[in-house]
Structure 1
Amino acid sequence: MQNTILITGGAGFIGSNLCEYFLGLGNKVICLDNFSTGHRHNLQDFLENPNFKLIEGDIRNIEDCMLAVQDADYVLHEAALGSVPRSINDPITTNDVNVSGFLNMLVASRDAKVKRFVYAASSSTYGDSQGLPKVEDIIGKPLSPYAITKYVNELYADIFSKTYGLETIGLRYFNVFGRKQDPDGAYAAVIPKFVKQLMKLESPVINGDGNYSRDFTYIDNVIQMNKLAIEVNNKEALNTVYNTAYGDRNTLNELVQYLKKYLAELNPEIANVQIVYGENRAGDIPHSLASIDKAKKQLGYNPKYSLQEGLKEAVSWYWNNLK
């Protein structure tokens, strides 16, 4: 059955991958984006598709939200200002987009009577919680303005489920990477940034000693979770949050070695690039590892890509698209 799916932030890294995937399944896709961090070139392949509609607008404007959601069966809310450092430098804008914009989308979705509101939550919500692996119902205090905004999203979604009957599912993303992730800009994610530097034979700078660890999650695992979140019919699986990860962790030192290995197969000189170490970054969680048991049990989640498998795919994509 053809559904109409609104993807906010659809010109971004995750959003544009979701647009591509759901269009490929024969759905109608509406993309709402203000292009503050997303890119038009991420949408280039869809613009002529009759099932694709682009609305250039801002989630901070309730009228834009109302317009975008009016024909939608489902909402995949990806629009946000990411980055812990960005939120430390500019907490007001981060809050405006991530909290006020999120609330606008909830209100618009409620009023349009969408079937379900699936939103990008964040592993940053675990804050200073020490336990590993991270389990959904045990969190600590947030360590950044960004983390606060993503936790507030979960609180608002819960209230809208209980008060207005809006079905919601939050997906706590853990360090997502893959094709279309932007390597440029002051707040670029670590994997595309390192790939671009290594391709140019420049030394990547690791914050700290490189022993911080992350549950790096390939984009196709995230797409699977969004699909499952739309399709699940079990009432017990709704109105809650799920870790969206692979369920393993690697240090930044291990990550860089994998990148050097796969890139050196394309250019042997990359194997000789030196790694530079800098200061730890404010607001960073030292270690991150997700329990994915809840998603496996409630949604049938079965991630296909480990870090190494995902990196091979990502490196190939960057090699062919960054030159």
Structure 2
Amino acid sequence: MRILITGGAGFIGANLARVALANPFFSDVRVIDDLSTGLRSNLDGLDVDLVVGSILDEGALRRAMTGRDAVLHLAAVASVPHSVRDPFTAHAVNATGTVRVLEAAREQGIGHVVVASSSAVYGANPPLPSTELTWAGPLTPYAASKLATEAYALAYQASYGMPTLAFRFFNIYGPGQRDDHPYAAAIPRFVRAALDGNPVVFHGDGRQTRDFTYVDDACAVLLDALRRRVHHPQPVNLAFGTCTDLHTVVGALESILGRPIERHLAAPRVGDIRHSTADTRLLHTLFPKLTETALTDGLRATVEWFCAESSAVRQRAARTVS
């Protein structure tokens, strides 16, 4: 299968390309990314065809779509704080960009499109766990734009007969997720602080819970969806129903590193949700052979990646000096 990954130089996209290339079913992987947040270096060593461009650029998108059998649409402004500061860009990329991706796929007769939505669409709505039929209540421009992403995908399925599948991602983490930008997610920030001997910072009391999903597990589901051409008329939660608070995450890091980690509390951020847990019944119905990586194992792999990256940076700096 010849696939296109939009946003494929980002954290999830690059891992997805790596996992796909290890499976002979996926014979040809192409990526489109404007490199605004993704990095070309994320694709180092991967035999992918990279189209540098925005999904808002019709010409670049058309070139990227040519000859593809299926599309995994991940390109997005993926930060809640960024969307609060710049709602117009979040809407343009996440909502309008999704329409451009779907329309380009329709024009070229591509048979399957899988899109990434987010658990943020639920907002703070009780009860937990959140089911796909729970009323959506976006609290931020990011969440609203992701609700538009999934709605457009499902509308194209209903209006044009295009097979689509919209996944609501829940706090995906793992190797390759960077901490070196203002909108970094919690786990990479925690790992970097711990490795540097600095305190981790909780925005709130640290008792907020998340449904953490290891990136390779998410990639396995996404690629299985393509391989079996799974589509569905409603969104699907992509998580495993865990309910882990941030103190537990830091406790697991302490066990991995063998030392205590200092914790500091900061003010909650606008749009932060107190608790988030997925109902997984629909996911397990559509993907009955799911496997889940334990949080400690996923964190250990993430720590090892950070250590390897730090070592590589030091080696490059030494070569530059010499």
* Shorter-normalised TM range: over 0.9
State the Cα distance separating 1:205 from its structure 2 match: 0.8
Number of equivalent positions: 309
The letter of the residue matching 2:309 is N
Q: Name the amino acid aligned to 1:227.
A: L
- Moved >6 Å (runs of 4+): none
List aligned pairs for 1:238-249, cutoff 5 A: 238-249=232-243
Cα deviations by residue, 1:66-107 (Å, 9 ceiling, x for unpaired): 111111101011110111111101111111111111111010
Q: Which amino acid aligns with 2:35?
A: F
The aligned counterpart of 2:43 is 43
Query: Which runs of structure 2 are paired with 1:237-316 in the superposition (5 Å)?
Result: 237-264=231-258, 271-316=259-304
**Alpha-carbon separation, structure 1, partners of 2:240 and 2:291:** 6
In structure 1, runs of 5+ residues without a counterpart are 265-270
> 1:95-110 maps to which residues of 2 (within 5 A)?
95-110=91-106
Aligned position for 1:24: 22
Given the two structures, how large is their TM-score scaled by the length of structure 1? 0.92
> Which amino acid in 2 is paired with 1:256?
V
Contact 1:246–1:305 under 8 Å retained in 2: no
1:267 is matched with which residue?
A: none
| Residues in 1 aligned to 2:291 and 2:252: alpha-carbon distance in whole angstroms | 20
Q: CA RMSD in A?
A: 1.3
Q: CA deviation at 1:233?
A: 5.1
Q: State how far apart, in whole Å, the 1-side matches of 2:296 and 2:175 are.
A: 14
Any conservation in 1 of the 2:250–2:261 contact (CA below 8 Å)?
Answer: no
Residue by residue, what CA displacement relative to the aligned partner does 1:36-66 show, whole Å, maximum 9, x if unpaired? 00011111112xx3xx211001011122111
Supply the distance in 2 between the matched residues of 1:301 and 1:125 (Cα, whole angstroms).
27
How far apart are 1:191 and its partner, in Å? Answer: 0.6
Is the 1:118–1:169 contact (alpha carbons within 8 Å) kept by the matching residues of 2? yes
Paired residue for 2:2?
A: 4
TM-score, length-normalised on structure 2?
Answer: 0.93
Distance 1:301 1:6 in 2: 25
Q: What per-residue deviation string (whole Å, max 9, x for no partner) do you get for residues 220-278 of structure 1?
A: 110111022113356xx5343211112111101111111122123xxxxxx24311001
Distance in 1 separating the partners of 2:200 and 2:251: 11
Q: Secondary structure at the match of 1:99?
A: helix
For residues 69 and 259 of structure 1, what CA distance do their matches in structure 2 show?
Answer: 42
C-alpha distance in 2, partners of 1:171/1:301? Answer: 17
| 2:83 aligned residue (83, 87, 100) | 87
For 1:322 and 1:134, locate their aligned partners in 2 and report how far apart those are by CA, in whole Å: 38
- The whole-number CA distance in structure 2 between the counterparts of 1:246 and 1:208 is 24
Asked if the contact 1:215/1:249 (under 8 Å) is kept, the reply is yes
- In the TM superposition, 1:1-323 aligns within 5 A as 3-26=1-24, 27-46=27-46, 49=47, 52-232=48-228, 237-264=231-258, 271-323=259-311
Which blocks of at least 5 consecutive residues in structure 2 are unaligned?
312-322
Q: Distance in 2 between matches of 1:14 and 1:139?
A: 27
Contact 2:154 2:165 in 1 (8 A): no
Please name the residue that 2:318 is paired with.
none
